[in-house]
Structure 1
């Protein structure tokens, strides 16, 4: 085999290896709109922002609502209800980093829904809440 052809094959293998190594990183990156689209597809119904606002600010048989820590209109920083730990603004208009990573978003919903609702939120609840959060202006 000649040297130029071998070099091209080696570059192709390296490029394929790099693409496979970076694939999980690319899968995790998202936009809030992409996340809502995924939740909407899972739910099989369009999100309703007003329903998301109501869900966010209502207690569900437990001590806290989402708004207990994030504020009733979460365009300002919040504070954890029991620890007092500061929480960055939740609305994407006030915090551009919110809902840009699928894994972090799922972790956030899993933890917070368990605290607020005592279970995982449904895809429809996630889509509704995110729809409302995206409608907020800072």
Structure 2
């Protein structure tokens, strides 16, 4: 295979991957929009930002915000508060496959919302959170 053809194939694959990630994220957001119920008027990055930054009461005292582990800059590598394990950036610009697997998204919200908020997140909160981090 010629180097030029190989380069073309690599470049052609990148947008398809990005488009696939965007489509998967859109499908997840569409599901949360449908679950948000009557009166839903769209997701808001402005509402998602304070969900990420906190602080919140009701959850574990050691995790009053997502930013506790993920840092206030969602583009930065975070660290688990207890284990110190690195956590890839939450920002979609830094971790393009973030929020592209519904099973993974639900697993994380199912674990982290009770730890941070002391309750499950609503579909509106989930969509706002993803919308905020998709713009970071």
TM interval, shorter chain, is 0.7 to 0.9
Q: Secondary structure at the match of 1:97?
A: coil
In 2: Cα distance, 1:33 partner to 1:134 partner: 11
Give the aligned partner of residue 49 of structure 2: 53
1:33 and 2:29 aligned: no
Structure-1 separation of matches of 2:25 and 2:67: 20
Counterpart of 2:6 in structure 1 is none
Counterpart residue number, 1:84: 84
- Partner in structure 2 of residue 130 of structure 1: 130
* CA distance in structure 2 between the partners assigned to 1:101 and 1:94 by the alignment: 17
CA contact (8 A) 2:79 2:87 kept: yes
Aligned residue in 1 for 2:113: 113
Measured in 1, the distance between the counterparts of 2:76 and 2:91 equals 8
Q: CA deviation at 1:97?
A: 2.0
Larger radius of gyration: 1
**Separation of aligned partners in 1, 2:125 and 2:36:** 9
Tell me which moved more, 62-71 or 106-115.
62-71
Corresponding residue pairs, total: 107
Return the offset for 1:118.
1.3
Shift of 1:42: 0.9
Separation of aligned partners in 1, 2:135 and 2:97: 16
Separation of aligned partners in 1, 2:31 and 2:73: 24
Alpha-carbon RMSD: 1.3
Say which SS state the counterpart of residue 41 (structure 1) adopts.
helix
